[in-house]
Amino acid sequence: MTRRKIPLFLCLVAIAVACAVVGIAQQSQQAPAAYATPIHNDQSGALGNGMINDNNATFRADEAVFMEEEDESSGLGPVYNARSCVDCHIQPNVGGASQVTELRVGHRDFSGNFVNPTISVNDGATKIPGRSLINDRALCSEATERVPGTETIHALRATTSVLGDGFVEAIDDKTLIAIANAQPRQSGGRIAGMVVQVPVSEANGATRVGRFGWKNQHASLLSFAADAYVNEQGVTSRLQPVDTTNLCDNVADPEDPVGPDGLEDIDHFARFMRQTQTPPRDTTLAATPDSLAGELLFNAIGCSTCHTASIITAPTGTVINGGQFIVPPALGSKVIHPYSDFLLHDVGTGDGIVQNGGPATANRMRTAPLWGLRTKDRLMHDLLAFTRNDAILRHGGEATNVVNHYRALSTAQKNQLMVFLNSL
């Protein structure tokens, strides 16, 4: 078999990427990386990133809140998907991803614009307006949601991992914008990540570059936590104070009470996520010749244009989230290896749903971070790719040229690339 050659300009890109990574590593400290949130009901063994220096006592207490199961008396529902954060964030540790998906639907108007549906429940007597999420569970049969025939857009969304998300939150907006601005030049104009400004709930709607959720619909972990609490568990809070419907709901809003420490559950959720370590590499596999060769191929064929290997967080003391959070030493000036640019791209798999980013985001999805990839058996935003090869070949749109380079690799080269991916 003839060994295929990688174009020279792609090799030069790979070298430039490698040099940039080395430069970053020399300037800043590596973020701590470990799977250190084992599924123990007493939180034994949980180790945070050092954000709070109390021998992990706060981290473990926050993890316990993250693992709490809600019931009807504590505000669960009336429509919901899960009883606990950990129900959907569990692989391979508490806070990780899972095989769980949620369902979103909608339709387009005569001008082709996405429209959030109105869902009728209770035999049509009760309406849930302007909400693309269809919950799979309800406290009573009357509140059960079903997809109307009018809604022709159907989309599955996978649960995303929150491990290491404190570092992602601490990335400066300018860093993400700079990555986006560099991509057309790196790709010959084929790839251009979209930056969206989204409101920060705790900052009275002040905007920031989105980075959380498949549509980058959130920029802060507190906003993200409040949104998930009301949409996935049906629990209202100070930031999301109104239930989707009051049908079969006997708990007054908001349902997330202030505890003795002055914090609501959403505060504990956000603080837990901020304290988690980043997903670690399989360092033994990563050091093998095949993995090292696969990494060079990953860069050379253009995967790293979107799946950015290294990003440095904002310096300690930087004020973010509309003035509501100051980057602490544990999160500041840290090098992370997410293998994502946290930007929106059209790679041919867009689900048609629009959230905070506006109409132009309908067919764009956030670049999936590849850290932790080795722990996943179902891939991409809908979990409908089951091998690494299938996931790569599903890419189109902006990634068409990259996929063509992948197709041109020899079998041996593809195998080396897979070894590299399995080390992440």
DSSP 125: T
In 262-349, which ranges are continuous DSSP H helix? 265-275, 283-286, 289-300
CA 286, CA 411: separation in Å to the nearest integer?
A: 20
**Residue indicated by tokens 């908001």:** 254
Record the tokens describing residue 267, joined without a space.
């505060």
133 sits in which H/E element: strand 133-134
Q: What is the 3-state secondary structure (H, E, C) of 179-201?
A: HHHHHHHHCCCCCCCECCEEECH
Nearest to 129 by CA among 154, 101, 148: 148
Nearest to 183 by CA among 360, 20, 354, 307: 307
Q: Tell me how far the alpha carbon of residue 370 is from its chain's centroid.
A: 11
CA 107, CA 124: separation in Å to the nearest integer?
A: 19
Per-residue pLDDT of the chain in tens (424 residues, 90 and over written 9): 334 455 544 454 444 444 444 444 456 899 999 999 999 999 999 999 999 999 999 999 999 999 999 999 999 999 999 999 999 999 999 999 999 999 999 999 999 999 999 999 999 999 999 999 999 999 999 999 999 999 999 999 999 999 999 999 999 999 999 999 999 999 999 999 999 999 999 999 899 999 999 999 999 999 999 999 999 999 999 999 999 999 999 999 999 999 999 999 999 999 999 999 999 999 999 999 999 999 999 999 999 999 999 999 999 999 999 999 999 999 999 999 999 999 999 999 999 999 999 999 999 999 999 999 999 999 999 999 999 999 999 999 999 999 999 999 999 999 999 999 999 9
DSSP 80: E
Domain ranges within the chain, ordered by starting residue: 8-421
CA 135, CA 112: separation in Å to the nearest integer?
A: 26
223 sits in which H/E element: helix 221-232
pTM value is: 0.94
CA 423, CA 280: separation in Å to the nearest integer?
A: 9
Q: Give pLDDT, residue 205.
A: 85
Query: Could you tell me if residue 279 is left (phi over 0), alpha (psi between -120 and 50 degrees) or otherwise beta?
Result: beta
CA 355, CA 153: separation in Å to the nearest integer?
A: 14
CB burial readout 285-300, b (16+ within 10 A) else e: ebeeebbebbbbbbbb
